[in-house]
Amino acid sequence: MKKYFPIIYLLTSILFSINIIAQHQEISEKPTVWKEKSNEKIDSTSILNAFKNGHFSGHFRYFFMNTNNEKGVSDYYSNALGGGVKFETAKFHNFQFGVSGYYIFNIGSSDFTEKDPITNAPNRYELALFDIQNPSNKDNLSRLEELYLKYNYKNSNITLGKQLLNTSFINLQDGRMRPTEVDGIWVDFNEIKKTKINVGYLYGISPRSTLKYFKVGESIGIYPTGVNPDGTKSGYAGNLDSNGIYIIGIQNESVKNLKTLLWNQYAENLFNSVLFQMDYTYDLNPNSKLLFGFQTIYQNALDFGGNENQSKTYFQKNGNSQTFGGRFGWKNSTLKLTLNYNRITAKGRYLMPREWGRDPFYTFMPRERNEGFGDVNALMTKIQYTNPKKTFKSHLAVGYFDLPDVKNVALNKYGLPSYVQTNADIRYEFQGLLKGFDVQLLYVHKFNLGETYDNKNYVFNKTNMSTTNFILNFNF
């Protein structure tokens, strides 16, 4: 009976759950990390006036995280405190200059230099609040984030330099202290009615949980690399060459209640990914709507996938993958309920560097991903409540993720067994005297459903574990 408990729990939760917004900012939204105000002042008459009439934004965050693994392996906790400032000038002949930086303090955490004695595996979640490249670093945690020049034309703009982006494949993944950022040129074109076009060339990435910018090839492999399709340890970290990432995205809403999205991401010498998505709302009455969604992604390797030596490449030569998913739901002014499905076919692993962003799937749940896997069936239900004043949000999400066996290394890159995951998230934005503050509590639990062959490496920080996150933000 015990082995069926997670499935019974899932079915029960689907019937009785109540869900909200995930911790991460939605990837369909513009970045709002700094929550800066738009500067609509008349074009300045001099560079000096542009700086004097510029705008400062600030963000401070306290983050507590605690992971409890099953008995016999290590648990962890962390306390992080950080703050930073962003400055953007007023317009000068339609040009603007922006710069931001951030500093993080470790104010009391587990010793991340100590690996779990049973599995010899390092910490997974808490270290990511700081510097994953140097677990002993507690003091030198400063980061240059944005440094850009932007030109504005009517409703459009073009930005050159270090900046924040939110796309289907490269996005903030801002569920830690600081988000992922990019270096390059980005065009946001909004001159066609009900159509948005983005074009970009990126030559640098600063992944979350790191302190500097890396070339595109260097950025892949900073996070854990898993195994090659033949089961040998992946050797692509530090061995990939790429001249950059070329991206084009088109979003169209010219048909009433229908949003169509097309993204193509060409990672030179590595791989190409295409996403097509349609989301349709059907008005039941003035107060409620039905939601329908469809998404598909196709990927294929470019040349040798990053390195002629296939033991050191990222995407196997001639490799490809296919995913498709759907969504059905209902919403009104305060509630939103969705049932989501995603399928990664057995054609190959879906691969997208975790350093670049989180999964774009309808079934995505914070604290786990399905990147690196093939032959996956994922089912997730979410129910979300937002109060009329938009100051309180809560959600409960429950997902069932059927993955290949952990020993099927050709389709299971990270040795993750099938699992059920539940997320409960509560957020509140203060008003009045405490306006500018917001608080969030996120609780995640993962139940194991797959065979682990009595090997704790398939369980530690993966399943039969929970993580609790408490976040306090102040923006000005």
Please give the C-alpha separations between residue 98 and each of 56, 202, 210, in angstroms, as whole numbers.
Answer: 10, 18, 21
> Concatenated DSSP letters for 221-277?
TSS---B-TTSSBP--TT----S-EEEEEEEE--STTEEEEEEEEEETTTEEEEEEE
- Residue written as tokens 């299971």? 412
Query: In this predicted model, what pLDDT tens digit does every residue of 243-270 receive, in sequence order?
Result: 999 999 999 999 999 999 999 999 999 9
Tell me the two tokens of residue 281.
């709302």
Share of the chain above pLDDT 70, in %: 92
Q: What is the 3-state secondary structure (H, E, C) of 335-357?
A: EEEEEEEEEECCCCCCCCCCCCC
Q: What is the pTM of this model?
A: 0.91
Ramachandran category for residue 182: left, alpha or beta (phi over 0 → left; psi -120 to 50 → alpha)? beta
Pair of tokens at residue 22: 């995930």
Give the count of beta carbons closer than 10 Å to the beta carbon of residue 248: 14
Q: How far apart are CA 148 and CA 20, in angstroms?
A: 34
* pLDDT tens sequence across 97-154: 999 999 999 999 999 999 999 999 999 999 999 999 999 998 889 999 999 999 999 9
DSSP helix/strand/coil, 456: helix
Model confidence over 268-302: pLDDT tens digits? Answer: 999 999 999 999 999 999 999 999 999 999 999 99
The pLDDT score that the predictor gives to residue 348 is: 97
Cα distance between residue 150 and residue 165, in whole Å: 14
Q: Is the dihedral of CA 465, 78, 24, 356 positive or negative?
A: negative
